[in-house]
Chain A
């Protein structure tokens, strides 16, 4: 029983970060119909940058985080402007180009940062006794709270501000939005940058717990894709619920079956959901 609670807690903590990262995919897919295969690379970039800024430049952890996020946003904007924008109208090109980007960037990381795991300093130390049953690392708790907070802020911005409303309008009907005066190219530009920031934010909250190596990016991307398809391609709420489900299932599977199959559990759930509800849990539209 105590074990189960521990695994569930782990699942929820991990799932929240999955959700944060997957929201970026949901945003980019929803607004631009672009699958960014290099999504996870922005997670890795944020991880490395926050570690580097903190250790090499001797900045405090929070200034390092702020700078990393700014850098990730900027890199995302550059990628959109020069790699994605020329492919507008052909989803296959953007898929191929981001796939190539992922390979190049992964090797760049290896070249620049080396093969050894790196991590930024922990934000907090020590641990808490949860439910009077087990001790749980403070860093994990803080990461979880931060991720949950960022998700809430993102959803509030999306549903309560004019910018979020315009982004949703473009995602629903791009042509109609442009007939109402919305510049869809500008919304693409911004959404892609924001999508990268969401991946980066997941990197920021998780790297103190799981140090980054150059190759983790692709796993992060795949996890995010699974979450988004699971929750429904056109649903932001779906990405959040999908992330939590995947986090919990993975952790229970690892604990009770085998850690060797960690990534398999997600795919089994995915296949089951797609079999029963092809649009995903909260989706209305099938992705073509």
Chain B
């Protein structure tokens, strides 16, 4: 089933075209990587999908619904969760409370104790069980990223947008993170669209990869296909014919 549909999405900031006619689809159950050089418009695309910014032209459809003009919170309750490259926990709240904020909306009908149980479960899933009372501001980077994941999961997402969850981690932690994402995907039946610069992770885990460059979708395919595509190599490494002339 088609879960996310982007139809000629465009967004400019002043004179800069951050996104230009981006058309793409994500099927339910897929894990799709979104890559591209810095400033390619990856995060802008995430913001448009999550409703944090509105696109100038084009349409975003989620599970058949046109969500282009929906406010952020409504998109979240429909089932799109996102994490940020620069983690944004509610620093003065404990980890448990951070997750409870999301649960108090997504699990409104449940009792207080059930919500607390669910929050503890989620924290355990991401490996933060022992730190549930720690203020989120005191966590180290990887734990903050874990918390960001737990909080996004607490919104009961069908589609999870992960913005560089692995970036900034050391190679041991990268392995751990890949295993965690794979586990979450299976346990929660998630569809994942993720931005990542760590190629090892994105090549290993993604079913399909989208490549953005200067706001345009320049390539789409399996990890194997994308890594050999001339346009992608040019976007990352530059044009050899242009530099030699």
Interface size on A, residues (CB 8 A): 18
Bound-complex Cα distance A182 to B154 (A)? 12
Q: Is B68 an interface residue (CB 8 A)?
A: no
Among B29-37, B89-97, B208-216, the stretch in contact with A:
B89-97
Bound-state CA distance A285–B20 (Å) is 38
Closest to A163 in B: B104
Q: Does A254 make an interface contact (CB < 8 A)?
A: no
Cβ < 8 Å to A, chain B residues 176-233: none
**Which residues in A have their C-beta under 8 angstroms from that of B42?**
none
Bound complex: CA of A180 vs CA of B148, how far in Å? Answer: 11
Inter-chain contacts of B81 with A (CB < 8 A): 179
- B104 close to A175 (CB less than 8 A): no
Given contacts A169-B101, A181-B76, A183-B73, are A176 and B90 in contact (CB under 8 A)?
yes
Report whether A179 and B52 are in contact in the complex, using a CB–CB cutoff of 8 Å: yes
Is A181 in contact with B73, judged by CB distance below 8 angstroms?
yes
Are A180 and B88 in touch, CB under 8 angstroms? Answer: no
Chain A minimum-CB-distance residue to B161 = A179
Tell me which residues from 163 to 187 in chain A have a Cβ below 8 Å from any Cβ of chain B: 163, 165-166, 168-169, 172-173, 175-184
Flag if B88 contacts A178 (CB, 8 Å): no
Q: Residues of B contacting A179 with CB < 8 Å?
A: 50, 52, 72-73, 76, 81-82
CB distance from A27 to the nearest CB of B (A): 16
CB of B202 to closest CB in A, whole Å? 23
Most chain B CB within 10 A, of A163, A168, A178, is at: A178
Task: Tell me if B's interface is mostly helix, strand, loop or mixed.
Answer: helix
Contact B102 A181 (CB under 8 A): yes
B165 to chain A, nearest CB (A): 15
Q: Are A180 and B93 in contact (CB under 8 A)?
A: no
Is B38 interfacial (CB-CB < 8 Å)?
no
| CB <8 Å contact, B91 and A172 | yes
Interface pair A175/B90, CB less than 8 Å apart: no
8 contacts between A and B (CB under 8 A): A165-B93, A165-B101, A166-B104, A176-B88, A180-B154, A182-B101, A183-B71, A183-B73
Supplied contacts A163-B104, A172-B90, A178-B73, 9 more A-B pairs, CB within 8 Å: A169-B101, A176-B90, A178-B71, A178-B72, A179-B72, A179-B76, A180-B102, A181-B102, A181-B105
* B interface residues with partner A (beta carbon < 8 Å): 50, 52, 71-74, 76-77, 81-82, 84, 88, 90-93, 97, 100-102, 104-106, 112, 115, 151-152, 154-155
